[in-house]
Amino acid sequence: MIEIVQKDDPVLRQKATEVAISEITSPRIRKILADMKEALASQEDGVALAAPQIGVPLRIFIVAGFALTEELQESKDRPDDLVFINPTITKLSKDKAELEEGCLSVRHFYGKTLRSKKATARAYNEKGEIFQRGGSGLLAQIFQHETDHLDGILFIDHAKEVQKVDIIK
């Protein structure tokens, strides 16, 4: 099982480095992507994961396929995760909303963050092709949360009303 590092790990506080374009399809990056997908799939409440969260300081994040559209949430199969390599946010709406937020690396803490309602990210996919994807709501929030991870920022740095929520089993 791939371990998801927790908030006091220094890897979460460093600025992640870009992946060389020529390296995107290399076995090393393929293995990192496979590990990230495995780690994300192991968390039933996980919607996205950044590479530093598995201890790899590279600019990569993935988004669970079911978080991408409303219709897919209805489907029972686990759709493919979407891969963002060297992502940059190209657009952020001025219009913001206060949203509930948590993080797989800040286990059991939740708080309220102010996030742009819409965001567009440009990145390379795992084939090394550049693409752009716009999103609103949860997807826009994910883009902002995950690119923050790549710059060493955690949501608890700016969230309000952070509380520990104990999971009752």
Which residue ranges make up the site for Zn ion (CB under 5 A)? 103
Identity of the residue, 103 or 139, whose beta carbon is nearer to Zn ion in the bound complex: 103
Which one from 70, 98, 126, 146 is the annotated catalytic residue?
Answer: 146
Phi, then psi, of 161 in degrees rounded to 5:
55, 45
Judge whether 126 counts as a catalytic residue.
no
Start-to-end C-alpha separation, the chain: 22
Nearer to Zn ion by Cβ, of 44 and 129: the residue is: 44
CA distance 166 to 53: 22
**Based on CB atoms, which residue is closest to Zn ion, 8 or 71?**
8
Q: Which residue in the shown chain puts its C-beta closest to Zn ion?
A: 103
Classify residue 152 as left (phi > 0), alpha (psi -120 to 50) or beta: left
Q: How far is the CB of 154 from Zn ion (least distance, A)?
A: 7
Residues acting as catalytic residues: 146
